[in-house]
Chains A and B, each alone.
Chain A
Amino acid sequence: MHEAAIVESALELILAKAEEHHLTKIRRITAKVGELSGALPEAMQFVFLNASQGTIAEGSDFIIEQVEATASCGSCDITFPIRFYHPVCPSCGGLDNQVLTGYELYIDTMEGD
Protein backbone atom coordinates (compact mmCIF):
# COMPACT_ATOMS: atom_id res chain seq x y z
CA MET A 1 0.00 0.00 0.00
CA HIS A 2 1.90 3.02 -1.21
CA GLU A 3 -0.63 5.42 0.32
CA ALA A 4 1.33 4.85 3.54
CA ALA A 5 4.52 6.27 2.01
CA ILE A 6 2.59 9.13 0.41
CA VAL A 7 0.80 10.12 3.60
CA GLU A 8 3.97 9.88 5.70
CA SER A 9 5.66 12.14 3.19
CA ALA A 10 2.70 14.53 3.32
CA LEU A 11 2.71 14.60 7.10
CA GLU A 12 6.42 15.39 7.21
CA LEU A 13 5.75 18.32 4.92
CA ILE A 14 2.75 19.54 6.92
CA LEU A 15 4.60 19.44 10.24
CA ALA A 16 7.57 21.31 8.77
CA LYS A 17 5.23 23.98 7.37
CA ALA A 18 3.45 24.26 10.71
CA GLU A 19 6.74 24.81 12.50
CA GLU A 20 7.74 27.43 9.96
CA HIS A 21 4.48 29.30 10.69
CA HIS A 22 4.66 28.69 14.46
CA LEU A 23 1.44 26.68 14.60
CA THR A 24 0.89 24.59 17.71
CA LYS A 25 -2.29 22.90 16.52
CA ILE A 26 -3.38 21.95 13.01
CA ARG A 27 -7.15 22.01 12.44
CA ARG A 28 -7.66 21.38 8.79
CA ILE A 29 -5.61 20.20 5.81
CA THR A 30 -6.68 20.04 2.20
CA ALA A 31 -4.93 17.90 -0.36
CA LYS A 32 -5.48 17.65 -4.12
CA VAL A 33 -5.30 14.13 -5.44
CA GLY A 34 -5.68 13.44 -9.14
CA GLU A 35 -7.68 10.50 -10.49
CA LEU A 36 -4.55 9.23 -12.22
CA SER A 37 -2.21 9.63 -9.25
CA GLY A 38 -2.69 6.04 -8.17
CA ALA A 39 -3.51 7.05 -4.59
CA LEU A 40 -6.84 6.06 -3.08
CA PRO A 41 -8.42 8.77 -0.88
CA GLU A 42 -9.99 6.24 1.53
CA ALA A 43 -6.64 4.57 2.07
CA MET A 44 -4.97 7.95 2.56
CA GLN A 45 -7.57 8.90 5.19
CA PHE A 46 -6.99 5.65 7.00
CA VAL A 47 -3.22 6.05 7.05
CA PHE A 48 -3.49 9.70 8.10
CA LEU A 49 -5.64 8.80 11.09
CA ASN A 50 -2.88 6.54 12.39
CA ALA A 51 0.20 8.45 11.28
CA SER A 52 -0.96 11.77 12.73
CA GLN A 53 -1.47 10.37 16.24
CA GLY A 54 0.76 12.05 18.77
CA THR A 55 1.51 14.96 16.42
CA ILE A 56 -0.04 18.44 16.33
CA ALA A 57 -2.07 17.24 13.32
CA GLU A 58 -3.91 14.63 15.37
CA GLY A 59 -7.67 15.07 15.10
CA SER A 60 -7.48 17.54 12.23
CA ASP A 61 -9.79 17.37 9.22
CA PHE A 62 -7.85 15.83 6.37
CA ILE A 63 -9.82 16.79 3.31
CA ILE A 64 -8.96 15.18 0.00
CA GLU A 65 -10.23 16.90 -3.13
CA GLN A 66 -10.16 14.57 -6.10
CA VAL A 67 -9.14 16.14 -9.40
CA GLU A 68 -10.74 14.84 -12.58
CA ALA A 69 -8.44 13.61 -15.33
CA THR A 70 -8.56 15.70 -18.48
CA ALA A 71 -6.57 15.94 -21.70
CA SER A 72 -6.49 18.20 -24.72
CA CYS A 73 -6.22 17.39 -28.42
CA GLY A 74 -3.92 19.67 -30.40
CA SER A 75 -5.61 19.00 -33.73
CA CYS A 76 -9.20 19.55 -32.58
CA ASP A 77 -8.39 22.24 -30.00
CA ILE A 78 -10.69 20.70 -27.37
CA THR A 79 -10.35 19.57 -23.76
CA PHE A 80 -12.04 16.36 -22.69
CA PRO A 81 -12.26 14.06 -19.64
CA ILE A 82 -10.12 10.93 -19.79
CA ARG A 83 -12.02 7.69 -19.35
CA PHE A 84 -10.25 4.58 -18.07
CA TYR A 85 -6.83 6.18 -18.48
CA HIS A 86 -7.15 6.30 -22.25
CA PRO A 87 -6.59 9.85 -23.53
CA VAL A 88 -8.51 9.16 -26.74
CA CYS A 89 -9.84 12.32 -28.39
CA PRO A 90 -13.66 11.98 -28.62
CA SER A 91 -13.68 14.05 -31.80
CA CYS A 92 -10.88 12.68 -34.03
CA GLY A 93 -10.03 9.48 -32.15
CA GLY A 94 -6.39 10.56 -31.91
CA LEU A 95 -4.26 9.07 -29.12
CA ASP A 96 -1.33 11.41 -28.85
CA ASN A 97 -2.99 13.93 -26.55
CA GLN A 98 -1.63 16.05 -23.76
CA VAL A 99 -2.82 15.12 -20.28
CA LEU A 100 -3.75 18.36 -18.48
CA THR A 101 -4.96 17.22 -15.07
CA GLY A 102 -5.24 14.02 -13.08
CA TYR A 103 -1.71 13.51 -11.75
CA GLU A 104 -2.03 16.03 -8.89
CA LEU A 105 -0.67 14.93 -5.57
CA TYR A 106 -0.10 17.90 -3.34
CA ILE A 107 -1.00 19.63 -0.09
CA ASP A 108 -3.04 22.67 -1.02
CA THR A 109 -3.81 24.50 2.22
CA MET A 110 -3.71 24.09 5.97
CA GLU A 111 -5.31 25.91 8.89
CA GLY A 112 -4.35 26.00 12.52
CA ASP A 113 -3.48 28.08 15.58
Chain B
Amino acid sequence: MSSIKVVTNILKVNDELTRENKKLMNQKGLYVINLMSSPGSGKTSILEKVIARLKNEVKIAVIEGDLYTTKDAERIEAHGVQVVQINTEGGCHLDGQMIRNALSHLNLEETNLLIIENVGNLICPASFELGEDLIITVLSTTEGNDKPQKYPRMFEKSGIVILNKVDLVPYTNFNKDEFHKDIQEINPKANIIETSCVTGQGIDELCSWLKEKISISNPV
Protein backbone atom coordinates (compact mmCIF):
# COMPACT_ATOMS: atom_id res chain seq x y z
CA MET B 1 0.00 0.00 0.00
CA SER B 2 1.30 3.43 -0.82
CA SER B 3 0.45 6.66 0.90
CA ILE B 4 0.27 9.80 -1.21
CA LYS B 5 0.29 13.38 -0.04
CA VAL B 6 -2.23 15.11 -2.28
CA VAL B 7 -3.03 18.56 -0.79
CA THR B 8 -5.09 19.75 -3.73
CA ASN B 9 -7.98 22.16 -3.59
CA ILE B 10 -11.21 20.32 -4.32
CA LEU B 11 -12.56 23.18 -6.42
CA LYS B 12 -9.43 23.17 -8.56
CA VAL B 13 -11.28 22.29 -11.78
CA ASN B 14 -13.69 25.17 -11.29
CA ASP B 15 -10.89 27.53 -10.30
CA GLU B 16 -8.91 26.75 -13.46
CA LEU B 17 -11.88 27.25 -15.73
CA THR B 18 -12.74 30.45 -13.90
CA ARG B 19 -9.19 31.74 -14.35
CA GLU B 20 -9.46 31.16 -18.10
CA ASN B 21 -12.88 32.82 -18.22
CA LYS B 22 -11.52 35.75 -16.24
CA LYS B 23 -8.70 36.20 -18.73
CA LEU B 24 -11.18 36.40 -21.59
CA MET B 25 -13.41 38.81 -19.64
CA ASN B 26 -10.41 41.07 -18.96
CA GLN B 27 -9.27 40.99 -22.59
CA LYS B 28 -12.72 42.15 -23.66
CA GLY B 29 -12.78 44.84 -20.97
CA LEU B 30 -15.88 43.50 -19.23
CA TYR B 31 -17.01 44.55 -15.79
CA VAL B 32 -18.63 41.42 -14.35
CA ILE B 33 -21.25 41.22 -11.62
CA ASN B 34 -22.35 38.01 -9.90
CA LEU B 35 -25.86 38.68 -8.62
CA MET B 36 -27.06 36.32 -5.92
CA SER B 37 -30.02 35.91 -3.58
CA SER B 38 -32.56 33.38 -2.37
CA PRO B 39 -35.54 32.70 -4.66
CA GLY B 40 -38.18 35.40 -4.72
CA SER B 41 -36.05 38.22 -3.33
CA GLY B 42 -36.77 40.30 -6.42
CA LYS B 43 -33.37 40.23 -8.05
CA THR B 44 -34.79 39.92 -11.57
CA SER B 45 -37.00 42.96 -10.91
CA ILE B 46 -34.02 44.97 -9.70
CA LEU B 47 -32.05 43.83 -12.74
CA GLU B 48 -34.87 44.99 -15.03
CA LYS B 49 -34.87 48.44 -13.38
CA VAL B 50 -31.11 48.74 -13.68
CA ILE B 51 -31.10 47.65 -17.32
CA ALA B 52 -33.88 50.09 -18.22
CA ARG B 53 -31.90 52.90 -16.58
CA LEU B 54 -28.44 52.05 -17.94
CA LYS B 55 -28.91 50.38 -21.31
CA ASN B 56 -28.52 53.59 -23.34
CA GLU B 57 -25.21 54.44 -21.67
CA VAL B 58 -23.70 51.01 -21.06
CA LYS B 59 -23.66 47.94 -23.27
CA ILE B 60 -25.12 45.23 -21.05
CA ALA B 61 -25.23 41.46 -21.45
CA VAL B 62 -26.88 39.05 -19.02
CA ILE B 63 -26.27 35.41 -18.20
CA GLU B 64 -29.43 34.03 -16.58
CA GLY B 65 -29.02 31.01 -14.34
CA ASP B 66 -32.21 29.17 -13.57
CA LEU B 67 -33.07 25.70 -12.35
CA TYR B 68 -35.53 24.79 -15.11
CA THR B 69 -37.41 27.72 -16.61
CA THR B 70 -36.70 30.47 -19.13
CA LYS B 71 -39.12 32.99 -17.55
CA ASP B 72 -36.48 35.33 -16.13
CA ALA B 73 -34.47 35.32 -19.35
CA GLU B 74 -37.59 36.28 -21.31
CA ARG B 75 -38.21 39.22 -18.96
CA ILE B 76 -34.64 40.46 -19.48
CA GLU B 77 -34.70 39.89 -23.23
CA ALA B 78 -37.76 42.14 -23.50
CA HIS B 79 -35.44 45.05 -22.63
CA GLY B 80 -33.45 44.48 -25.80
CA VAL B 81 -30.14 43.42 -24.23
CA GLN B 82 -28.14 40.26 -24.96
CA VAL B 83 -29.21 37.31 -22.80
CA VAL B 84 -27.98 33.76 -22.51
CA GLN B 85 -30.02 31.35 -20.47
CA ILE B 86 -28.36 28.54 -18.52
CA ASN B 87 -30.66 25.84 -17.19
CA THR B 88 -28.84 24.02 -14.43
CA GLU B 89 -31.46 21.23 -14.42
CA GLY B 90 -31.61 21.05 -10.67
CA GLY B 91 -28.03 22.22 -10.04
CA CYS B 92 -27.97 24.76 -7.23
CA HIS B 93 -25.28 27.11 -8.58
CA LEU B 94 -23.47 28.21 -11.73
CA ASP B 95 -19.91 27.03 -12.30
CA GLY B 96 -16.93 27.83 -14.51
CA GLN B 97 -17.90 25.41 -17.27
CA MET B 98 -21.40 26.87 -17.57
CA ILE B 99 -20.00 30.39 -17.75
CA ARG B 100 -17.52 29.34 -20.43
CA ASN B 101 -20.36 27.96 -22.57
CA ALA B 102 -22.46 31.06 -22.01
CA LEU B 103 -19.60 33.41 -22.94
CA SER B 104 -19.25 31.68 -26.30
CA HIS B 105 -22.85 32.68 -27.11
CA LEU B 106 -22.39 36.38 -26.34
CA ASN B 107 -20.94 39.11 -28.53
CA LEU B 108 -18.33 40.32 -26.05
CA GLU B 109 -17.11 43.09 -28.37
CA GLU B 110 -20.53 44.64 -27.84
CA THR B 111 -20.50 44.37 -24.04
CA ASN B 112 -19.13 46.57 -21.22
CA LEU B 113 -21.14 45.20 -18.34
CA LEU B 114 -21.83 41.49 -17.89
CA ILE B 115 -24.35 40.60 -15.22
CA ILE B 116 -24.55 36.96 -14.14
CA GLU B 117 -27.83 36.27 -12.38
CA ASN B 118 -27.02 33.23 -10.29
CA VAL B 119 -29.45 30.50 -9.26
CA GLY B 120 -31.68 31.61 -6.39
CA ASN B 121 -30.01 30.08 -3.34
CA LEU B 122 -28.10 31.68 -0.47
CA ILE B 123 -25.67 28.83 0.15
CA CYS B 124 -24.12 27.07 -2.84
CA PRO B 125 -23.34 29.91 -5.29
CA ALA B 126 -21.06 31.50 -2.68
CA SER B 127 -18.61 28.58 -2.99
CA PHE B 128 -18.07 28.89 -6.74
CA GLU B 129 -16.22 31.93 -8.00
CA LEU B 130 -17.18 32.91 -11.52
CA GLY B 131 -14.48 35.46 -12.24
CA GLU B 132 -16.67 38.35 -11.15
CA ASP B 133 -15.45 41.85 -10.24
CA LEU B 134 -18.31 42.40 -7.86
CA ILE B 135 -20.74 40.24 -5.92
CA ILE B 136 -24.12 41.75 -5.22
CA THR B 137 -26.36 39.89 -2.80
CA VAL B 138 -30.03 40.74 -2.59
CA LEU B 139 -32.03 40.11 0.56
CA SER B 140 -35.69 41.04 0.78
CA THR B 141 -37.40 42.24 3.93
CA THR B 142 -39.97 39.44 3.76
CA GLU B 143 -37.24 36.82 4.26
CA GLY B 144 -36.41 38.02 7.77
CA ASN B 145 -33.28 39.72 9.07
CA ASP B 146 -31.74 36.49 10.40
CA LYS B 147 -30.50 35.41 6.95
CA PRO B 148 -27.06 37.11 7.05
CA GLN B 149 -26.29 35.31 10.32
CA LYS B 150 -27.53 32.00 8.96
CA TYR B 151 -25.79 32.22 5.57
CA PRO B 152 -22.87 34.59 6.15
CA ARG B 153 -20.55 33.38 3.41
CA MET B 154 -22.39 35.13 0.61
CA PHE B 155 -22.76 38.38 2.55
CA GLU B 156 -19.14 38.23 3.53
CA LYS B 157 -18.04 38.18 -0.11
CA SER B 158 -20.42 40.90 -1.31
CA GLY B 159 -19.32 44.36 -2.40
CA ILE B 160 -22.93 45.49 -2.32
CA VAL B 161 -25.74 44.10 -0.19
CA ILE B 162 -29.16 45.17 -1.42
CA LEU B 163 -32.05 45.18 1.01
CA ASN B 164 -35.05 44.95 -1.31
CA LYS B 165 -38.78 45.42 -0.67
CA VAL B 166 -38.13 48.07 2.00
CA ASP B 167 -41.63 49.38 1.28
CA LEU B 168 -42.91 46.23 3.02
CA VAL B 169 -40.99 46.73 6.29
CA PRO B 170 -44.08 48.02 8.18
CA TYR B 171 -45.87 44.76 7.37
CA THR B 172 -43.07 42.43 8.46
CA ASN B 173 -41.05 41.84 11.62
CA PHE B 174 -37.86 42.72 9.78
CA ASN B 175 -35.45 44.50 12.13
CA LYS B 176 -33.38 46.92 10.04
CA ASP B 177 -31.07 47.89 12.90
CA GLU B 178 -30.11 44.26 13.51
CA PHE B 179 -29.65 43.73 9.78
CA HIS B 180 -27.26 46.69 9.47
CA LYS B 181 -25.38 45.59 12.58
CA ASP B 182 -25.02 42.00 11.32
CA ILE B 183 -23.73 43.09 7.91
CA GLN B 184 -21.31 45.47 9.60
CA GLU B 185 -19.95 42.57 11.65
CA ILE B 186 -19.79 40.02 8.84
CA ASN B 187 -18.48 42.40 6.18
CA PRO B 188 -17.59 45.94 7.29
CA LYS B 189 -16.64 46.90 3.73
CA ALA B 190 -20.02 46.09 2.17
CA ASN B 191 -22.12 48.92 0.79
CA ILE B 192 -25.72 48.51 1.83
CA ILE B 193 -28.36 49.89 -0.54
CA GLU B 194 -32.04 49.82 0.40
CA THR B 195 -34.33 49.40 -2.59
CA SER B 196 -37.95 49.04 -3.53
CA CYS B 197 -39.03 48.13 -7.04
CA VAL B 198 -42.50 49.47 -6.20
CA THR B 199 -41.46 53.00 -5.20
CA GLY B 200 -38.17 53.04 -7.14
CA GLN B 201 -36.21 53.81 -3.96
CA GLY B 202 -32.48 53.12 -4.17
CA ILE B 203 -32.37 52.34 -7.90
CA ASP B 204 -30.66 55.67 -8.71
CA GLU B 205 -28.10 55.08 -5.98
CA LEU B 206 -27.39 51.57 -7.27
CA CYS B 207 -27.06 52.77 -10.89
CA SER B 208 -24.68 55.63 -9.99
CA TRP B 209 -22.55 53.22 -7.97
CA LEU B 210 -22.35 50.79 -10.89
CA LYS B 211 -21.63 53.52 -13.46
CA GLU B 212 -18.76 54.76 -11.36
CA LYS B 213 -17.33 51.24 -11.05
CA ILE B 214 -17.66 50.54 -14.77
CA SER B 215 -15.93 53.78 -15.73
CA ILE B 216 -13.07 52.98 -13.35
CA SER B 217 -12.59 49.52 -14.85
CA ASN B 218 -13.02 50.73 -18.47
CA PRO B 219 -11.24 54.09 -18.70
CA VAL B 220 -12.16 55.87 -21.95
- A-side residues, CB < 8 A to B, are 1-2, 5-6, 9-10, 12-14, 17, 21, 23, 27, 31, 36-39, 84-86, 88, 95-96, 105-113
Q: How many residues of B contact A (CB 8 A)?
A: 31
Closest 7 CB pairs of A and B: A2-B124, A85-B152, A10-B10, A107-B6, A111-B3, A86-B185, A106-B9
Do B10 and A107 touch across chains, with their CB atoms under 8 A apart? yes
How does the 8 Å CB contact mask read for B119-161 relative to A, with 1 for contact and 0 for none?
A: 0000110111000000000000000000001001100100000
How would you classify the secondary structure of chain B's contact residues: helix, strand, loop or mixed? Answer: mixed
Do A106 and B2 touch across chains, with their CB atoms under 8 A apart? no
16 contacts between A and B (CB under 8 A): A1-B124, A6-B11, A6-B127, A9-B10, A9-B11, A9-B12, A10-B10, A12-B13, A13-B10, A17-B6, A86-B186, A106-B6, A106-B9, A106-B10, A110-B4, A112-B1
Do B10 and A105 touch across chains, with their CB atoms under 8 A apart? yes
Do A38 and B10 touch across chains, with their CB atoms under 8 A apart? no
How does the 8 Å CB contact mask read for B6-32 relative to A, with 1 for contact and 0 for none?
A: 111111111000000000000000000
Q: Which residues of the other chain, B, contact A5 by a CB distance below 8 angstroms?
A: 91-93, 95, 124, 128
CB B191 to nearest CB in A, in angstroms, measures 16
Do B153 and A36 touch across chains, with their CB atoms under 8 A apart? yes
Q: Which residues of the other chain, A, contact B3 by a CB distance below 8 angstroms?
A: 109-111
CB B84 to nearest CB in A, in angstroms, measures 21
Write the chain B residue with the least CB distance to A86.
Answer: B185
Do A108 and B156 touch across chains, with their CB atoms under 8 A apart? no
Do B10 and A21 touch across chains, with their CB atoms under 8 A apart? no
Q: Which residues of the other chain, B, contact A1 by a CB distance below 8 angstroms?
A: 92, 124
Do B149 and A13 touch across chains, with their CB atoms under 8 A apart? no
CB contact between A109 and one of B4, B9, B13, B149 (< 8 Å): that residue = B4
Write the chain A residue with the least CB distance to B3.
Answer: A111
